[in-house]
């Protein structure tokens, strides 16, 4: 499954609506970065873009991590009418997560290329982002953290790793702890890559499992009802034939490392496995937005943690599955705006 397709891009366009002009790609050089495992990520670089203006008190910063396989460049694809964030009031920092092909990744690391790139966790991802904010941008507190899909997972990790760092948090179709179904389908996608004849232990010349990735995306991103309603029988072989010819798509090594990071997320880890204890540590006000029919990030853990947090909860009830924030974009944007500004 092409992870860059997991998150709803038009929603993000709505969230960033109002920007006078798209900001240029920037990079934070963090040097050699020690991971939770004890391994070192050599010459770590984190990509980011900013929107709006930081006020003198530095009290209006909103941090927006990207989805799996996504980039801040994709956040610029199409800026829609004003909804969601108000950039006349706030300063948004959009970040490229590790292993997305922009920030330090198996595909672009000179010192640790391909599968020599160390395995990292969601906690490590957030640690690099904390370093970006504090050491490079000199921002020590956030108005909010929010993100979609893997961005929602990062948001859940942020509120536990740094509970006093933000006032509010909005995880959208994310999870604080992947459900068994999620772990199974992500592992299946890794297996499809490493069992492909083109894999060569990560030193491939052509991305392996390209057709399998398309197949996973087709059957997981929405629901059977939505897929059947919007796809004919004749279109299925056409879709598979197109996938066979497709040369682009997410780099397989990048995908593996990001998937492993998603599979690692467990906000209860440092609380003896107790989600209740993890929730008790959170200081931010939280709004959880999840899709009841999501098959990529099943919503049970997010709703459960949201109840423990006494958070606001928005249930997306349509049949679009993980793409529900796209289909129900007005509902999502209105909820975000009300939570941040009313």
Express each pLDDT in 254-274 by its tens digit. 999 999 999 999 999 999 999
- 75 falls in which pLDDT band (50, 70, 90)? confident
Q: Is the pLDDT of residue 247 over 90?
A: no
Confidence at residue 4, expressed as pLDDT on a 0 to 100 scale:
37
Distance CA 241, CA 246 (A): 9
Looking at every residue in the chain, the average pLDDT score rounds to 91
Architecture of the domain whose range is 3-182+253-341: 3-Layer(aba) Sandwich (3.40)
| DSSP letter for each residue of 89-152 | T-EEEEE--TTSSSSS-TTT-SSS-GGGSPP--HHHHHHHHHHIIIIIS----EEEEEEETHHH
Confidence at residue 76, expressed as pLDDT on a 0 to 100 scale:
67
Confidence at residue 3, expressed as pLDDT on a 0 to 100 scale:
40
Tell me the per-residue pLDDT of 139-165, one tens digit each, with 9 for 90 and over: 999 999 999 999 999 999 999 999 999
Q: Which two tokens stand for residue 209?
A: 């499992």
Tell me the per-residue pLDDT of 171-187, one tens digit each, with 9 for 90 and over: 999 999 999 999 999 99
Confidence at residue 7, expressed as pLDDT on a 0 to 100 scale:
41
- 84 falls in which pLDDT band (50, 70, 90)? confident
Q: Is the pLDDT of residue 312 over 60?
A: yes
Distance CA 106, CA 254 (A): 6
Nearest to 177 by CA among 287, 269, 76: 269
| Helix 150-161 and helix 300-309, axial crossing angle in degrees, nearest 10 | 30
Nearest to 154 by CA among 136, 166, 138: 166
Give the pLDDT mean for 31-41. Answer: 98
Query: Burial letters for 193-223: b for 16+ Cβ neighbours within 10 Å, e otherwise?
Result: beebeebeebebeebbbbbbbbbbbbebbbb
Q: What global pTM score does this model have?
A: 0.92
User: Radius of gyration (Cα) for the chain, nearest Å?
Assistant: 19
Q: Are 151 and 66 in contact (CB under 8 A)?
A: yes
Confidence at residue 6, expressed as pLDDT on a 0 to 100 scale:
39
Tell me the per-residue pLDDT of 107-120, one tens digit each, with 9 for 90 and over: 999 999 999 999 99
């Amino acid at each position: 499954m092409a992870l860059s397709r997991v998150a709803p891009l038009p929603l993000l366009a709505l969230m960033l609506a109002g920007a006078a002009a798209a900001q240029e790609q920037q990079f934070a050089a963090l040097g050699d970065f020690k991971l939770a495992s004890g391994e070192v990520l050599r010459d770590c670089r984190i990509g980011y873009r900013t929107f709006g203006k930081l006020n003198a008190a530095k009290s209006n910063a909103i941090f927006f991590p990207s989805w799996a396989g996504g980039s801040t460049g994709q956040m610029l694809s199409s800026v829609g009418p004003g909804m969601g964030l108000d950039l006349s009031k706030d300063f948004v920092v959009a970040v490229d997560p590790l292993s997305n092909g922009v920030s330090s990744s198996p595909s672009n690391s000179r010192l640790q290329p391909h599968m020599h790139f160390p395995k990292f966790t969601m906690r490590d991802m957030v640690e690099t982002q904390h370093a970006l904010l504090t050491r490079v941008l000199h921002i020590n507190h956030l108005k909010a953290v929010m993100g979609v899909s893997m961005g929602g997972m990062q948001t859940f990790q942020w509120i536990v790793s740094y509970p006093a760092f933000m006032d509010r948090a909005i995880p959208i179709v994310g999870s604080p702890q992947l459900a068994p179904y999620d772990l199974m389908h992500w592992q299946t996608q890794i297996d499809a890559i490493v069992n492909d004849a083109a894999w060569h232990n990560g030193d491939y010349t052509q991305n392996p499992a390209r057709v399998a990735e398309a197949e996973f995306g087709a059957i997981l991103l929405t629901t059977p009802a939505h897929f059947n309603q919007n796809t004919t029988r004749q279109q299925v072989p056409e879709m598979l034939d197109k996938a066979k010819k497709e040369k682009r798509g997410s780099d397989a090594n990048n995908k593996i490392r990001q998937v492993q990071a998603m599979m690692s997320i467990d906000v209860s880890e440092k609380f003896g496995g107790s989600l209740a204890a993890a929730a008790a540590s959170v200081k931010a006000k939280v709004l959880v937005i999840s899709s009841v029919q999501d098959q990529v990030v099943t919503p049970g853990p997010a709703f459960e943690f949201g109840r423990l947090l006494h958070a606001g909860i928005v249930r997306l009830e349509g049949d679009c599955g993980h793409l529900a924030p796209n289909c129900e974009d007005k509902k999502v944007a209105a909820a975000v705006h009300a939570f941040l500004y009313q």
